[in-house]
Amino acid sequence: MEILELSLERFRNYTSQTVAFHPVCNVICGENAQGKTNLLEAILYLSCGKSPRARADRELIGFEAQDARIRARVSARDREFIVEADLFRGRKRRLFVNGVNCRTASELSGVYNTVFFCPDDLYLIRAGAAERRRFLDGCLTQLRPRYAAALSSYHRLYEHKTRILRDSEERPDLLSLLPEVNEQMAIFGAVIIHYRAQLCRRLGEYAAASHRECSGGREELGLDYRTVSTVTDPLASEGEIAQQLRLHQKSHGQAELASRLCLSGPHKDDLEVTIGGRSARQFSSQGQTRTAALSLKLAEREIFRNVTGAYPVLLLDDVLSELDPRRQEYVLNRIGGGQVFITCCEEDRLEELLGGKVFHVKQGEILSQQPAKGGQEDVPAPGTK
């Protein structure tokens, strides 16, 4: 999977930009708030139809504009694709693959995949359960369209049930809708739990080996998927899980009515991370938790490769500056085999990446420089306008 060319129009702080990338390594340099992360965000958006930094598409549009366009020429599966997103302030976005309108964002993931790693991910272990669920969901929605559809349906049902519970005191007739909503939540919830548990098992295999190597064999990483108490085996069939979710709903029915909150379902699940058998969130040092987070993200990349047959596009957003030299070297030694984008403020620490291309970003303008000892003057990147 390779991003050959990216075009941005009125996207964030980019007015109009087209740039061609190196097939292996692209280093994006510049001071803060110049547009480095925006460039990675555009690549990520075209792979899954969403941004980790924006709650709504309108936030991606330039301040003075009413619309924006992101377009990429992509090489994948021995073919070339044109992937495009048209964003609007006052109406629904439009997504295209080779000129054909996409019905769902999951169709974008059928073209290429990305793994995005930013400084916030280094706190993945210490953060709340919502961040770890977001990590699992971000991986699965790209790999499994059925999961993406189930997650979307579950979120709609959850919001519907929450409104019913909230308004039931003034409108008791709404409670007649609960049985059907609960049934649908059990069905879609079973799909979510089933896929998450399978992903956690695979993550555990890769991340444990990665963490063991990074720690010099001194530490053992463990992962355990935690869901509702009645689900005894998250790896069981979806039918079994759905039945166990129904039992959980029944046992929590009165509590939900009293609290007017949805208390049953996978929306509170967690991925428990242990190091040496102890909770990493509670007992591990900062260095240990960062190594664990690195291991999870590198494991995610390996899973993508095994499922799709090719490495995903790896997006490293200012991660190296947050790591000590040993962990920097560990990451750099394991990002070969696919196309990589790395943002940083200074390029001198990236001498290991000779053979790639360096891009300098200044106020939403991209300039390019081939890595060379002694340095060169910035020149417009080939394909840049």
Report pLDDT digits (tens) over 188-200: 999 999 999 999 9
Mean pLDDT lowest for which of 61-65, 201-205, 248-252? 61-65
What domains sit in the chain, N to C, each tagged with a CATH number?
A: 1-113+312-385 (3.40.50.300), 125-308 (1.20.1050.90)
Confidence category of residue 379, pLDDT binned at 50, 70, 90: very low
Please check the confidence at residue 252 and state whether its pLDDT lies above 80.
Answer: yes
Terminal Cα-to-Cα distance of the chain (whole angstroms): 25
Strands 357-362 and 365-369: antiparallel
Please check the confidence at residue 357 and state whether its pLDDT lies above 60.
Answer: yes
Residue 132's identity, in one-letter code, is R
Please check the confidence at residue 64 and state whether its pLDDT lies above 90.
Answer: no
Please check the confidence at residue 90 and state whether its pLDDT lies above 90.
Answer: no
Whole-angstrom Cα distance, residue 103 to residue 149?
A: 12
Q: What is the mean pLDDT of residues 78-82?
A: 92
**Cα dist. 372→31, 287, 356, 378, 379 in Å?**
20, 33, 10, 12, 14
Please check the confidence at residue 383 and state whether its pLDDT lies above 50.
Answer: no
Please check the confidence at residue 355 and state whether its pLDDT lies above 70.
Answer: no
Contact 319, 118 (CB under 8 A): yes
At residue 40, the 3 state secondary structure works out as: helix
Please check the confidence at residue 381 and state whether its pLDDT lies above 70.
Answer: no
- For 303-326, the pLDDT digits (tens) are 999 988 889 999 999 888 788 888
Share of residues in the chain with pLDDT > 70 (%): 93
* Closest listed residue to residue 327, CA positions, set 353, 359, 292, 368: 292
**Cα dist. 266→137, 139, 166, 312 in Å?**
12, 17, 20, 28
Whole-angstrom Cα distance, residue 44 to residue 297?
A: 15
195's torsion region: left (phi>0), alpha (psi -120 to 50) or beta? alpha
Q: What is the mean pLDDT of residues 114-119?
A: 89
Which pTM does this prediction carry?
Answer: 0.85
Structure tokens at 143: 């790999």
pLDDT of 368: 65
Confidence category of residue 349, pLDDT binned at 50, 70, 90: low
Q: What is the mean pLDDT of residues 230-238?
A: 95
